[in-house]
Amino acid sequence: MKQDPVVEHTDLDDLPNRRPAGMCRGQGHIVVYGNPAFVAAFGAAAVGMPAREGILDLPPRAFAMLDAVLLRGKPLAGWIRMGGSEWRLTVAPRVDPAGEVYGISFHLRERSDTPATGARA
């Protein structure tokens, strides 16, 4: 990873700056969007590239999850190791109006990061 985008916070407004998230299209998982934390973690050049070429820090299990969600059209979540830390990877299908799965969305949350509950202090 280029830098560690995670800082312990509970501020929901800061989520895009500390939790990498992106959207991919097609079987090659071409990255079509990365939030600020994604760009900080993997670089701006990863947007527009196949995920397997641009997001080198993801382990094989993460790519297996991306593939499974694209194939089955059902969301998945699980813990992966990346950059010496444990991260929760959540993957959801992107579906067109005809009901066809055309891509996936994903986000990562480091284990030490407080889950977002919607509650504000």
Model-level pTM? Answer: 0.81
CB atoms within 10 A of CB 42: 24
CATH superfamily label, 18-110: PAS domain (3.30.450.20)
Query: Where do the H-state alpha helices sit in 20-121?
Result: 36-42, 51-54, 60-72
Cα–Cα distance between 119 and 98 in angstroms, integer?
35
What pLDDT is attached to residue 119? 55
pLDDT in tens, 8-53: 445 555 555 679 999 999 999 999 999 999 999 999 999 999 999 9
Q: Which two tokens stand for residue 12?
A: 């929901």
Backbone angles phi, psi at 62, to 5 degrees: -65, -45
